[in-house]
Structure 1
Amino acid sequence: MSHYQFFATTPKAMEAVLCEELKQLGAENIKPALAGVAFAGDLATAYRACLWSRTANRILLLLGTFDVKTQDDLYYGVKRINWFEHMGPEDSFAVTFSAKNSEVITHSHFGALKVKDAIVDQMRAKFHKRPNIAIERPDIRVNVHLQGQSAQLSLDLSGESLHRRGYRDITIQAPIKENLAAAMLLKSGWPDIAKAGGTLIDPMCGSGTLLIEAAMIAGDFAPGLLRDYYGFLGWKQHDEEVWLAIREDARQRKLAGMDKIPVIAGFDLDRQSVNAALAHIANAGLQHKIHVERRDIADAEAAASWPPGLVICNPPYGERLGDTQETADLYQRFGEILKTRFIGWKAALIISDPELGFRLGIRSQKPVTLYNGALECKLLRFSIEPAAFFVPKAKTPEERISRAVEGSQQPAEDAVGADMFANRLQKNLKKLAKWAKQNQVTCYRVYDADLPEFAVAVDIYQGEETWVNVQEYEPPKSVDPFKADRRLAGVLAEIPKVLGIPKANVFLKIRRKQKSTDQYEKHGETGQFHVVEEGGCKFWVNFEDYIDTGLFLDHRPIRLRIQQEAKGKRFLNLFAYTGSATVHAAKGGAIATTTVDMSNTYVNWAKRNLALNQIEGAHELIQADCLEWLAQEAAQPYCRQYDLIFLDPPTFSNSKRMEDVFDIQQDHVQLITHAASLLAPNGVLYFSTNFRRFKMDPQALSDLRIEDISAATVPEDFSRNPKIHYCWRIQKTCAE
């Protein structure tokens, strides 16, 4: 059997685990790379990797490499392959294209079209017939990765990502991918624990992924055995006899291994999660091997007959679920449960915030870095023994601040230098209150870290009452936490005095550096909304339940500009948040508006804002992934046309509702291109971002006229921070 060169992709930081797997599967010349592993072997080796790898995403068969210095180089490089050896004219295929650091091809869609054209032209020249394009389950899937000027052309033998085992069909909040779950188990020593007959318990099991992966490992159950589709099944060189033999061997190993599965149990308080777990376990054929019940974390405990083993879970963490304080308390309770009920066991959990790990009060081994999507996490592993226990000293910022305000050793009014802050706030207020009155501005920023010792932003909102939203920028680690807390206590004490408002009208948020979160993450459940005004429009704001209030104050000038330009126009608001720009457009006389946001919460909020302003008529609200919606609309032969578009995307997003990770720097060209395709003749697109290191790529957008209007869109109350956002006015270079 011939030998081939392969490349197995895997999530970043899982390369070492995949190397070990491939070694066990008989692979040769194993060489780890970033997010993947190169190896050599025959087809049987590749088939075994597809069937047995628990951590790989895809197995790629390398067909060739070539230089791409021009767009035609890509076309002819692909065309040099004899595609008749891989497919017939009646077959279907799909193309996956990615590019990194390429100056020639920056659009993945364009690159995929070039590859497709090369294959179709070759097949049509011989057979006078073009093969079919099939996005779902094609006979073969072609993969091209362009790194700089070097292209790697491969066949995707997996067809679709190998993490999709085939047992999971119910989506719950914050699911963990199957191959990440497998990596957690492998790095936590579960194979040896299972061989010794140890028990596995997941006390926060969600939809059961860790339980099922644990059972598959313990029972010698090939993770790909449930799948009925692979990318090699429709390939002309597929060796059916070899594949069936490998698959049959896996079936026999599964039959022999099922009796070796030890006790595996999962608990979860959420009824929907438990039902999902039971359904997934049944889909995997493991319904008599895994025990699941509805049980609160406080009641997590092993039955007397269950031997000690491994407690493992994917608990809520700051960027993923829940209120910060509530999450911190959960970890502290979980630590107490481990220390009182699971002595002699091993434990493991994946976490993104090291502070939460300290709340357990158990010393861990050296953490293992893993990635949950794009979010960097640590796998903490513990031996639950009294010698490893300690009393957690670290507290959440909210707890420390509350203690500083309510019960510090000195009165809060005496906190370090609070009078300096009060004087600066009074000075700013005197200047800005006059400006606000002259310009009929009722919501504005009055202080923005003017004094380095007091790193807070203070925003005033005036409605039936005056409210103040205080955001503390997380202090650097070099700052003594006690001093930082004392200063913040002083800030919170001085604001009501200077502004003459009740303490209850001052709200505090701690704005931490966000690694990969949605900027609209929910933080509370008070449901307390208030009405404020801006430019003749009314808006609902909320000071307690979200990191932002529902009205981005720095966008006030661009909203007013939209209102002034909207008369008689069709307006599109993308990544619309609470629809404030839509309200301004409608108030300015827009004949029709379309408002698109992925969050149903914010689409409903936008609907409430429109109703608050008694706006009726042709005002469409769409709950959808803006990237997907834009791509679909731009691909229509007769796409929608808008005279005015506002595009204000997040800097980064890996929301569970999105298939891919979004990065504004990497993806802005395609995003702006799609949005601009919806512009009517003489239409205007306003694009804004708050990513401070953002660099517009005008060369890639050379068919557009781009004008930087950032300076004109930063309001007076944000003049201390001119990089609060960037904004461009964009038009097509000529009317179509």
Structure 2
Amino acid sequence: MSKTVFFVTCPKGVEYLLADELSSFGLSSVRNAPAGVWAEGTLEAGYRTCLWSRLANRVILHLDEADARSGDALYDGVVHMDWQQHIPVQGSFRVNFLGQNDAIRNTQFGAQRVKDGIVDRFRANGGQRPSVAASDPDVTVSARLNRGRLSLGIDLSGHSLHRRGYRTEKGAAPLKENLAAALLMRAGWPELAQAGGDFLDPMCGSGTLVIEAAMMALDLAPGRKQERFGFEAWLGHQPELWLALRQEAERRAHDGKQGPLPRMQGFDQDPRVIATARNNLRRAGLEGLVEMQACPVADLALDDGWATTGLVLTNPPYGERLSERRELGGLYQALGDAVKRLVPGWRLGVFSGAPEYGKSIGLRSYKQYKLFNGKLPAQLLLFSVDEASVRTPREPDVPGEITPRVSNEERAAMLRNRLKKNLKTVGQWARKQGIGCYRLYDADMPEFALAIDVYEGRVHVQEYAAPKSVDERSARERLAEALAVIPEALGIDRDALVCKQRQRQSGTSQYEKQAASGEFFQVHEHGCALKVNLKDYLDTGLFLDHRPVRHWIQQHAQGKRFLNLFCYTGAATVHAVVGGASRSLSLDMSKTYVGWARDNLALNGADPRRHAVEQADCLAWLAAPASPDQRYDLIFMDPPTFSNSARMAGVLDIQKDHARLIRQAMTRLNSEGLLIFSNNFRRFRLDEDLASEFDIQEVSQSTLDRDFQRNARIHRCWHIRHRA
């Protein structure tokens, strides 16, 4: 059988494990890539990967590469390929397009050009062509763009292989099945099971780790219960070969249940989650082979008959809320106490998004693997449950968990005095202006690199990441002092203080949830009511530095049509509405922030028929032709510095892309209208060519209130008009 090339995708961090697994299927690894492996082998090995891989997401049969330095070059490469060998004329196909470059920055555009090339190739050979199906196509064409080259192939899997078919219900924060399998392999479960070891998960949730452990121990193919794969309507499919592999999988499933079986059991404190786990177990065909029981970690008990060796592997809660994180140390200590009491001589694996709590287990970790749970960085910590590994459990020092305490009274007094002074000056100014939310302190002293904002009696503290010159222990000590001093100096309860560590934003971090408290409350600004949330997101829902810009909009919006691009929570639109705007449209790609903006408008009595908020990719919306009714008198555009969100049509780099965005926005602006353009990129430089096309005035200084004048570069702002 001739050999071909495959690209097999997997979760990030699992590439080396996948390469070893592919080798066991008869595929030789060519090279590893981010989140995937290039491999070479027979079609039989490709089929075997679809059926047996516990780690893969997709198996792509590589066909060819095309020049993708332009849309036309991409089309030319696609249209010259012999697609009649792969897609039935009477069938259907779809294109999965991934990647961008300077010429192809929109995945929809890239997919369209690939589709056009395929369809035109069929038309050139007789006129008939397959249909395009967005869901459940006969054949899925994979198109992966890397710089100037496009890799084209047939997706043999047809769906992500992590979906085994047994999990239709979900517990809280479930692991994907192939990530669970990777954890089991890293923890050495296949070898332990073969040596007669048993398996426990004391915080099993919906049971994914236990079920994957059982499937490994019983030699069950992960794809055995899949009804359909992506190659079954592909014209290169070999049904007899596939049938033989399916029959082999059934024989192995039968044989795997014949010999001595390990004991495998999952526990969870929530009986409702255990009910979900049992349903998943039934769908996986493992009833009677795996046990599930509701029981807290601290009360864990085992009956007789467990092996003297085995694996405890678990994925504890990450502790999204501050109150939950305070409980994590006790949970991890209870886990350590349980395994030392019940299973000495075993191995313990803990997959954690808060690996610092591993210190509370009371065992010394001998191995740590860095992985990702979705987009969240996490670690797999491995421990030997034996006397040599025992250590004294201790609480970690992390920003959300630091106990407020004063180590240096003189230094703490400096911060206390500065806060009281600022409260008299800045606070008095804010009260006179009728401003309830303002910045009280912004790294005024190098010893305390904090931003402290007041939100009508509550306080939001952002800790800037310490410079490399300050060691981590000193930074924690100073934060502990600040947390002790702030409530005292400002006269608030400690429960009214929220502290976050502020990091450099990248990608979609503005949109990623940090916690799940759901604690919203109203604040007020120049007669406008606004919803804020101090705990759950990187930002609070209100950019305080833009207060003068919003007030200016409010003062000049009477009778105007207002457009708010990248609207966030719609605060600027609220000011426009309160200021008398006749109509408004607010756009943002985040469903969360669109809902938040609608709530803010409703708080201020806005008529939704005249003041619309829509979920939209602003890049795609601006790139589309403007209709006559899409003209505005006043436009506010404050884009993020950078975004590569999967929801966007392309990557946004504000320095590189701002000129195009401004020109596109100006096509939506009436002849006498005004575009307010702002961004917070510290090194931003406005494209000089824009000044020859439009009247441009920088107004940054006038958009900074007293509480932000120490930080004059926090944002920059321009008024842009059409030339007369």
Give the TM-score normalised by structure 2. 0.84
Structure 1 residues 694 and 152, CA, compared in 2 at 3 Å: closer, same or farther?
A: farther
Deviations 1:353-395 (A, max 9, x none): 4312222221112212222223332211111112111113453
Structure 1 residues 404 and 12, CA, compared in 2 at 3 Å: closer, same or farther?
A: same
Whether contact under 8 Å (2:6, 2:39) holds in the other structure is yes
Query: 2:235 & 2:687 partners in 1: Cα distance?
Result: 42
Q: For residue 156 of structure 1, what is the aligned residue in structure 2? A: 155
Whether contact under 8 Å (2:622, 2:661) holds in the other structure is no
Whether contact under 8 Å (1:474, 1:510) holds in the other structure is no
Structure 1 residues 439 and 65, CA, compared in 2 at 3 Å: closer, same or farther?
A: same
Query: 2:720 & 2:389 partners in 1: Cα distance?
Result: 60
Identity %: 43
Shift of residue 157, structure 1, vs aligned partner = 1.4
Shift of residue 646, structure 1, vs aligned partner = 5.8
Q: For residue 125 of structure 1, what is the aligned residue in structure 2? A: 124
Q: For residue 313 of structure 2, what is the aligned residue in structure 1? A: 312
Amino acid at match of 2:128: K
Task: Answer yes or no: is 1:80 the counterpart of 2:80.
Answer: yes
Shift of residue 290, structure 1, vs aligned partner = 2.2
Whether contact under 8 Å (2:404, 2:484) holds in the other structure is no
Whether contact under 8 Å (1:198, 1:309) holds in the other structure is yes
Structure 1 residues 713 and 5, CA, compared in 2 at 3 Å: closer, same or farther?
A: farther
Task: Answer yes or no: is 1:553 the counterpart of 2:544.
Answer: yes
Task: Answer yes or no: is 1:586 the counterpart of 2:577.
Answer: yes
Q: For residue 215 of structure 2, what is the aligned residue in structure 1? A: 216
* 3-state SS of paired residue (1:417): helix
Q: For residue 390 of structure 2, what is the aligned residue in structure 1? A: 389
- Of the three residues 414, 425, 431, the one matched with 1:420 is 414
Q: For residue 707 of structure 2, what is the aligned residue in structure 1? A: 717
Report the count of equivalent residues. Answer: 711
Shift of residue 182, structure 1, vs aligned partner = 0.7
Q: For residue 411 of structure 1, what is the aligned residue in structure 2? A: none
Query: 2:697 & 2:451 partners in 1: Cα distance?
Result: 30
- Of the three residues 411, 435, 447, the one matched with 2:441 is 447
* 3-state SS of paired residue (2:278): helix
Task: Answer yes or no: is 1:330 the counterpart of 2:331.
Answer: yes
Whether contact under 8 Å (1:50, 1:162) holds in the other structure is yes
Whether contact under 8 Å (1:324, 1:523) holds in the other structure is no
Structure 1 residues 155 and 490, CA, compared in 2 at 3 Å: closer, same or farther?
A: closer
Q: For residue 526 of structure 2, what is the aligned residue in structure 1? A: 535
Shift of residue 649, structure 1, vs aligned partner = 6.1
Q: For residue 500 of structure 2, what is the aligned residue in structure 1? A: 510
Query: 1:565 & 1:487 partners in 2: Cα distance?
Result: 45
**1:301-700 residue pairs with structure 2 within 5 A?**
301-307=301-307, 308-317=309-318, 323-397=324-398, 401-402=402-403, 404=405, 415-425=409-419, 428-429=422-423, 432-433=426-427, 436=430, 439-462=433-456, 466-475=457-466, 479=470, 483-484=474-475, 487-488=478-479, 490-491=481-482, 495=486, 501-502=491-492, 507-513=497-503, 521=513, 523=515, 527=519, 529=521, 531-541=522-532, 548-564=539-555, 566-568=557-559, 579-591=570-582, 609-610=600-601, 612-615=603-606, 618=609, 641=630, 643=632, 644=635, 665=653, 682=670
Amino acid at match of 1:144: A
Between 478-487 and 243-252, the greater mean CA deviation after superposition: 478-487
* 3-state SS of paired residue (1:367): strand
Structure 1 residues 268 and 630, CA, compared in 2 at 3 Å: closer, same or farther?
A: farther
Shift of residue 415, structure 1, vs aligned partner = 1.9
* 3-state SS of paired residue (1:402): coil
Structure 1 residues 120 and 511, CA, compared in 2 at 3 Å: closer, same or farther?
A: same
* 3-state SS of paired residue (1:365): strand
Shift of residue 581, structure 1, vs aligned partner = 3.4
* 3-state SS of paired residue (2:367): coil
Between 705-714 and 104-113, the greater mean CA deviation after superposition: 705-714
Between 377-386 and 607-616, the greater mean CA deviation after superposition: 607-616
* 3-state SS of paired residue (1:366): strand
Amino acid at match of 2:104: I
Q: For residue 140 of structure 2, what is the aligned residue in structure 1? A: 141
Shift of residue 618, structure 1, vs aligned partner = 3.1
Whether contact under 8 Å (1:571, 1:642) holds in the other structure is no
* 3-state SS of paired residue (2:332): helix
Whether contact under 8 Å (2:326, 2:401) holds in the other structure is no
Whether contact under 8 Å (2:162, 2:176) holds in the other structure is yes
Structure 1 residues 191 and 468, CA, compared in 2 at 3 Å: closer, same or farther?
A: closer
Query: 1:329 & 1:619 partners in 2: Cα distance?
Result: 53
Q: For residue 175 of structure 1, what is the aligned residue in structure 2? A: 174
Whether contact under 8 Å (1:540, 1:550) holds in the other structure is yes
Whether contact under 8 Å (2:80, 2:121) holds in the other structure is no
Shift of residue 289, structure 1, vs aligned partner = 2.2
Whether contact under 8 Å (1:569, 1:642) holds in the other structure is no
Amino acid at match of 1:17: L
Query: 1:397 & 1:715 partners in 2: Cα distance?
Result: 34
Structure 1 residues 366 and 520, CA, compared in 2 at 3 Å: closer, same or farther?
A: closer
Q: For residue 115 of structure 1, what is the aligned residue in structure 2? A: 114
Whether contact under 8 Å (2:399, 2:479) holds in the other structure is no
Whether contact under 8 Å (1:59, 1:157) holds in the other structure is yes
Whether contact under 8 Å (2:164, 2:222) holds in the other structure is yes
Deviations 1:481-530 (A, max 9, x none): 6654554455456556765x35558624132548986667465759584x
Q: CA RMSD in A?
A: 4.4
Amino acid at match of 2:387: P
Whether contact under 8 Å (2:19, 2:29) holds in the other structure is no
Shift of residue 418, structure 1, vs aligned partner = 2.9
Shift of residue 600, structure 1, vs aligned partner = 8.4
Q: For residue 52 of structure 1, what is the aligned residue in structure 2? A: 52
Whether contact under 8 Å (2:29, 2:37) holds in the other structure is no
Q: For residue 94 of structure 1, what is the aligned residue in structure 2? A: 94
Query: 2:34 & 2:654 partners in 1: Cα distance?
Result: 19
Query: 1:77 & 1:566 partners in 2: Cα distance?
Result: 52
